[in-house]
Amino acid sequence: MFGIEDPQIIIGYALAIGLGLFCLAYGYRNWNEGGEQDG
């Protein structure tokens, strides 16, 4: 895939990009959460 044959490298890239996108989704979903807790 994209010129890379070793699945361990492909999985590494997929996870890195996937986790980056997860961070975006987490921030979007919890944008207004946690404002009142514990001051």
Partner 1 sequence: MVDALTLGAFTALYVAVLFLLTYMAYRRTRKGEDFLLAGRKVHPAIIGLSYGSTFISTSAIVGFGGVAAQLGMGIIWLTVLCIGVGVLIAFIVYGKRTRRIGQRMGAVTLPDLLSKRYNSNFLQYGTSVIILASMPLYSSAVLIGGSRFIETTLGIDYYTALFGFALITALYVVFGGILAVMYTDAFQGGIMVFGMVAILVITYMVLGGVTTAHHDLTDMASLVPSGLASAGMNGWTAMPDLGSPIWFTLITTIVMGVGIGVLAQPQLVVRYMTAKDDRSLNRAIPIGGLFILLSTGVAFTVGALTNVYFFRNNGVIATSMVSGGNIDQIIPLYINTAMPDVVVILFMLTLLAAAMSTLSALFHSMGSAAGHDLWTHLGCSRLMPSRVRRERNGSCSLRANQAGTAVMIVVSVGLAFLMPGSIIARATAMFMGLSAAAFLPLFTLAIFSERPSLLAAKLSLVVGAGSWFLWTAFVHVKESEVLGISRALFGTDAVLGSPWTVVDPLVIALPASALALLLGLFLERRAAPA
CB of 11: closest distance to partner 1 in angstroms? 9
CB of 14: closest distance to partner 1 in angstroms? 9
CB 22 within 8 A of CB 28: no
| Site size for partner 1 (CB under 8 A) | 30
Query: Which among 7, 4, 27 is positioned nearest to 15, based on CA atoms?
Result: 7
**Separation CA 24–CA 18 (nearest Å):** 10
Q: Report the interface residues with partner 1, using CB under 8 A.
A: 2-6, 8-9, 12-13, 15-17, 19-20, 22-24, 26-28, 30-39
